[in-house]
Structure 1
Amino acid sequence: MAVARPLRVLGLIAIGLWVFFLYQLFGPTGSPKAPGEHVENMDRDPNLDITGEPEGVILRRADKGYAPGPEGTSRINATLLSLVRNEEVDGIVQAMRDLERTWNSKFNYPWTFFNDKPFSEEFKKRTRAETKAEIRYGRAAFELQLIPAEHWDVPSWINEELFQESAQILKENDIQYGSMKSYHQMCRWNSGLFYKHPALKDTQYYWRVEPKVHFFCDVDYDVFRYMQDGNKTYGFTINLYDAPASIPTLWPETAKFLAQHPEYMHENNAMPWVTDNKRRPDHNSKANGYSTCHFWTNFEIADMSFWRSQAYEDYFNHLDRAGGFFYERWGDAPVHSIALGLFEDASKIHWFRDIGYQHIPFFNCPNSPKCKGCVTGRFTDGESWLMKEDCRPNWFKYVGLG
């Protein structure tokens, strides 16, 4: 009997260790086993841990020839880009102040502002005060070039009565901005026309900046040179699900286009991310086969060569003629994202995890001493249900960290 008791104790200990091992391996509170594992219930997203500069980055700092003005500099052919109204001057000044403090004061890339109305003297004065870089519209600083009417106006093939009926339906379905014609015009312009503006005809890269956004982290390398040297096409920070009721025919129209142009599909595409039906099957069903995952385009750093490609030009024209920019609420975010996911090499799409960013109500907040003013790993300052809107885990699962 004296020998049996220690054996029983050892057996219980062994069972306990085995249970502990299984819990660590499969338990709900452990760290993610892979980049794509769901992280919404964690205190912070470990993918946001920063260990240094992006791999392969070539630094171009302020002491390496970055004086204001294009001559004698090593800058990439790029601009900071904003579609903004006069009444949004407070919001764009705040966004400029953040981005100049954290990044552009080191590199002095020019700013390009667009409006469908003339900019006021107050707007010009206040934005000029926020940067040492050029603020331009073409050949000269603040040369007045508005968005061409043919790029902004509702196209001739859109039926006004049908648009009004559709806008009412969108409003009844609580689709944000669905009844605002100017919002539909903006989405169409941002989807397929902004890069055709004369002020951008000789520009290759852009960083889109919207009013009231925040930037939290010091970034000490030239992101445009990183894009060029790394052969990247597109950079994002936040990746979300869209409202299916705003885009019910976007994927069916895309499928029609793919049937007509299978040659545009890239062999290393992100189709599984575009069509995933496991994490949010309700979205996939209501959007008729589209996961609704999209890059949140209020932040995007991109090479306009992709938008100017024949594949994207044909795709946009197909969608434009289908009418969904007005009869539904097709945004530039899902349109850009689907096109990138299908027609581009997925390895050329980069997650800028080190750029701290907020557009209410969502954040990209890295774990880095270079970041101030945001909570590490925090995704939203809204209601807890908004955590479900994060589609980055799907991107990491199907494509990787980038």
Structure 2
Amino acid sequence: PIKELRKSLAAQASTAHPSGVLYGMPVAVKDNICTLEFTTSCGSKILEGYRSPYDATAAAKLKAAGALIAGKTNCDEFGMGSSTEHSAYGRTLHPFDKTRVPGGSSGGSAALVAAGAVPAALGSETGGSVRQPASLCGVVGIKPTYGRVSRYGLVAFGSSLDQIGVLGRSVHDAARVLSVISGRDPKDSTCEDRDSLRLPNVPESLQGFVIGVPKEYFPQDLDAAVRRACDRAIRLLRELGAAVREVSLPHTAYAVATYYIIAPAEASSNLARYDGARYGPRFNGSEDVRALYRTTRGDGFGPEVRRRVLVGTYVLSSGYYDAYYRKAQQMRALIAQDFRNVFDRGVDLLFTPTTPTPAFKAGEKLNDPVAMYLSDIFTVTANLAGLPAISVPIGRIKGLPIGGQLIGQAFLEDEMLEAAYALERAVPAAEEA
């Protein structure tokens, strides 16, 4: 594999244009984003050995800017997970403590950046899969506005939620890559007809910014060290000149339940194609179609994917659609309205914790899916509302990194990045909270 990687990098370097803004920069790519040079397995046996005949638009834009695709990174199967333990090819180790998880589902990308192997990596987000591992591994993770980056070539999980994001060693590294992969794409009808993101200047202060702190994201049972780290970050935002005020997002309590109805429903539809008949390998030579479907999907999908497909099929079924799926979509609209109400009152950005705890032990939550799902409690709302968000390291808890989250207004990533630049420079990210 190392020999093959060197050969691929040499071939890419020979054709990379020296004037590209990312010339010579190695960028790793999550294993659910299509690339010509490497297989795209999505962490699943059902796509083992699959080689895409085309590059995802994001990968193609990286190459056009002179970047080198430095390989594919491990992920939870089809992006379904919060720990990168749900991969058919083994779990990813936390870069600072091998007994812990790096987060997920973009845990491979986060761990690789945190280990210093690459300055940046592409990940994907459905409910926090870039920001959550970024927080747990101590790197920067950006989820752009839905429609800012083309999804062409991203293997679909939840089509109304999915978005390609970036993990980087710094806000600058991640923002540079985001500026390259953003912009219009005729191959993706959900991609907005907008120019590429322009990088903002690093601000001297945050004078004029109004930053809201949603009280629902700071419950009484929030980990005390996480609260201390966030309180310090909020104090520093004030010292930088920002006006900080408490705000309310009243429907936040329903966000996780809403997400875990809508996302599995979309997954059950998107993954229906992997049946061994129309698409994907066959795990059984039987001529009986039902037996073929059952064996192919039963052997090809892991337990977490099977669980979510079953949930999605259930909530979309006759008699349960109105009771679950329709209500979840109504709640999604209310969650998005909460954000609009706050922003309409003069708030520019929101600050919250990214995750409720630092990295947890491997295996700790494997048998408790609800506890695993609650790892995304502070991140799913931005996906449901389609808003940009970024996780920035704000300290350590017993040596383990923890991140703070800034949520911005739709397509105003430049404002969000300005505040993130300032916060990154001000916060002693390596200090204990």
TM-score normalized by structure 2? 0.28
**Larger Rg, first or second structure (1 or 2):** 1
Higher helix share: 1
Bigger relative CO (Cα 8 Å, ≥ 6 apart) = 1
